[in-house]
Amino acid sequence: MKIQVFRLNSSSYQDKDFIKSEAKLLSAIEGVEYITSASALSKDAKYVLISNTHTDLSKLAKNLLENTILMLHPNSGHDNIPASFVRDVDFPILRGNKIRAQAVAEYILSCMFRHFTQIKNHLFWDQSRVWNRKRLRDQKTLILGFGHVGKLVYKSLSPLVKDLTVIDPQVESNELIPQVKTQYDDECFKNVDVLILATSLNESTKGLINQKVFEQVSESVLIINPSRGKVIAQKDLEKFLEINPNAFAYLDVFTTEPFSSSDFKSIKNVNKTSHIAGVYKELNRDIIEFEKEALGDFLKDQGSFNEKYSKDIL
C-alpha cells in the first residue's frame, strides 16, 4: 500500500528547515512519500494528514478525506477539532498535545515561583537575614483541568501546597483521587489564592472564569492561564485587576490573538506573553519524532496503535 503524508499547514515557528527535516525523517519510513501540495496527491495512494491550529477542516475536500487513513494533530489540543468532524470521518485523529505538556507545566510553575519566591541579590551581608515571603504551602490552590498539563502541575505542587484541588468534569473514573473533583460547586472558587487554568475550551468552560468567580476568589489571587483565552471573560478580568491591585495574572492566551496593545492597557498587575508557554528550542524536533513514531506504529499494527495511543485518539 502506497502512503502519502500530506502536511496541510505549518506554524510561524516552523520554517523551511523544519519542513525539510520532517520530509526527510517521514519519507525514510518504508512505503511513505511526503508531500506538501494537493497537486502531488495520487489517486492510488492512501493519505496521512498532518494538521495544526490553522487548518480549516471544513474546507478539506471530500475525496481527500475518503482516502485518508490517519490524521496527526501534533500542535495543539482536541478543542481545535470540531466534534462534528470527528463523527463524520472514519479514520483515527491522533493528538500530540502531550508534546508540549511539560513545557506548559514549567511555564505555570515558573509563574508561581516568580510571584511568590523571587530571590533578591544581596550586595552586602544582611545581618537581619529576613525574607518576608508568602509560602506556597499556605496558598489555597485550584487547578482546572486534569489532562497532561494538569497532572504534571498537580504532581509537582502536591508536596508543596497543603490545600490543592483539581476540577475536571471530563476526568476518567480510574483517575479519580480525593483531590480531583468532577463538578463545579458554589464553594470551589471561594477564597482561592492561586487559580491555574489547564483546561480545554468547550461549551462548559467558555467564559467560566467571570465576574461571579472574581467575587469569590481572594483579593490577592494569582491567576495563571496558558490554556485557552476564552475560558476567561477578559473584560471581567480587566475590571477585577483594576480594583484589586494585589491580585496578579500571568496570561499566555487571550480572547483574540494576537492580543492588542489596548488589552489590559495601563493595568500593571498583569504579565502578558505571546502564546509561548508550549514553545521551546527543541519543539520542532520533538514534533517530528512524535510523528515518526506514531506513523511507524500505525503502519506496523493498527490494533496495537489504537491501544498505545488510546487516550489521545479522537
Q: Which residues pair with 194 in a beta bridge?
A: 141, 222
In this prediction, residues 28-46 reach a mean pLDDT of 93
Angle between helical axes of 283-300 and 98-116 (0-180°, round to 10): 150
Lowest mean pLDDT, pick from 9-13, 126-130, 189-193, 251-255: 9-13
Residue spans of the domains in the chain: they are 3-95+281-312, 100-272
pLDDT, position 10 = 82
Please, what sign has the CA dihedral across residues 111, 113, 116, 120?
Answer: negative
Query: What residue ranges in the chain does DSSP mark as E strands?
Result: 3-7, 32-35, 46-50, 68-73, 93-95, 141-144, 164-167, 180-181, 194-197, 222-225, 248-251, 270-272
Is the pLDDT at 186 greater than 90? The verdict is: no
The alpha carbon of 310 is separated from its chain's Cα centroid by a whole number of angstroms, namely 19
Span 100-272 CATH architecture: 3-Layer(aba) Sandwich (3.40)
> Which residue in the block uniquely carries the three cell numbers 476568589?
217
Query: Quick one: CA torsion of 288, 291, 294, 297, rounded to 10 degrees?
Result: -80
Same fold, 3-95+281-312 and 100-272: yes
* DSSP code of residue 71: E
95-108: per-residue pLDDT in tens? 988 899 999 999 99
Render pLDDT for 228-275 as a digit per residue (tens, 0 to 9).
999 999 999 999 999 999 999 999 999 999 999 999 999 999 999 999
Domain at 3-95+281-312, CATH from 2.40.50.140, 3.40.50.2000, 3.40.50.720, 3.40.50.1220: 3.40.50.720
| H-only helix segments in the chain | 16-27, 62-66, 83-88, 98-116, 148-157, 211-214, 234-243, 283-300, 302-308
CB-side neighbour CA atoms (13 Å) of 314: 24
> What does the alpha-carbon distance between residue 291 and residue 43 come to, in Å, rounded to a whole number?
23
